[in-house]
Structure 1
């Protein structure tokens, strides 16, 4: 896994996960993941879930370990949303697919409620540039 290091010093998400960056507060974390608010929220609740270990993007994932990571990210984000009043039936969850990423650190978006997203955000999170966790897992499995 050549695109992997524990931390990239110039990566804003690595800095957030290490609590070195003052702009975003980690709302929840475990040993391997951190969750925080998106700075440009698409709806009332918009969280990003990142691995604390630096991984570049969903396109670079290529192992069974990565399949497990994606599943863990989905569960962590979905559980957090439900604990904070969100409902999966009005949730959008997924990854921007390169080159449509703004930060080169793997991050999963959890957005709720989708029904209240503006037209602009509906475009930004449309199926052409925003992919489901299942799409990412199928992409990983195709490389294995």
Structure 2
């Protein structure tokens, strides 16, 4: 920015002498005007630009692939859920990818009742270890995504969990996704009773797995 010269008059040009010693009575005597003082205006220093901090993005779940590969023993040709997950059994799949599949439960306990299973064979939730938490988290993400696709947006009114062996009907890890939980019947409320001896919620399972050493399974 170019400097601007500002003229500041000296205070002397505002003074008027009224001395009576002047030869002409009543004649006003004006003090000589001093030369104006030039002051260079300093251009203002621009304020530093402060960037607003970027909002933190959603926390990503750990990749379930390593844990899934370590935990699974391939595909069990006799397991019905292995067959469904690998499209060897005619089933309407609501979700299918490289690692997981989701489909309707044949005996629904709620208006919306889905099962999320790994495509590779994993015995049950009791056989999981601490490092398998990403598998459970990925299954939950898929289950909630399917509910949203089906128009269920109240995810607080949902029951997510696993039957604890020996109360699991199929010896292949499967997450029950039931909604709305408030519309479950009396029998279903018992079968999928939260944190009972036979049914464990996702939150309780994850806390249980977190308490295990790295090389131990649930018990």
Structure 1-normalised TM-score?
A: 0.91
1:68 correspondence with 2:137: no
TM alignment of 1:93-112, pairs within 5 A: 93-112=160-179
Q: How far apart are 1:107 and its partner, in Å?
A: 0.3
Please say which structure displays the higher CA radius of gyration: 2
Q: How far apart are 1:30 and its partner, in Å?
A: 1.8
Matching residue of 2:210:
141
TM alignment of 1:86-125, pairs within 5 A: 86=152, 87-125=154-192
Structure 2-normalised TM-score?
A: 0.61
Q: What is the alpha-carbon distance in structure 2 between the residues aligned to residue 75 and residue 53 of structure 1?
A: 18
Runs ≥4 in structure 1, deviation > 4 angstroms? Answer: none
1:132 correspondence with 2:201: yes
> Which SS does the other structure have where 2:156 is aligned?
helix
Q: What is the alpha-carbon distance in structure 2 between the residues aligned to residue 30 and residue 92 of structure 1?
A: 23
Contact 1:59 1:136 in 2 (8 A): no
> Which SS does the other structure have where 1:140 is aligned?
helix
Q: How far apart are 1:21 and its partner, in Å?
A: 1.2
Matching residue of 1:33:
100
Could you say which structure has the higher helix fraction? 1
Q: How far apart are 1:139 and its partner, in Å?
A: 2.3
Contact 2:94 2:146 in 1 (8 A): no
Q: Once superposed, what is the RMSD of the aligned Cα atoms?
A: 1.6
Extract unaligned runs of 5+ from structure 1: none
Aligned residue pair count: 142
Q: What is the alpha-carbon distance in structure 2 between the residues aligned to residue 4 and residue 34 of structure 1?
A: 15
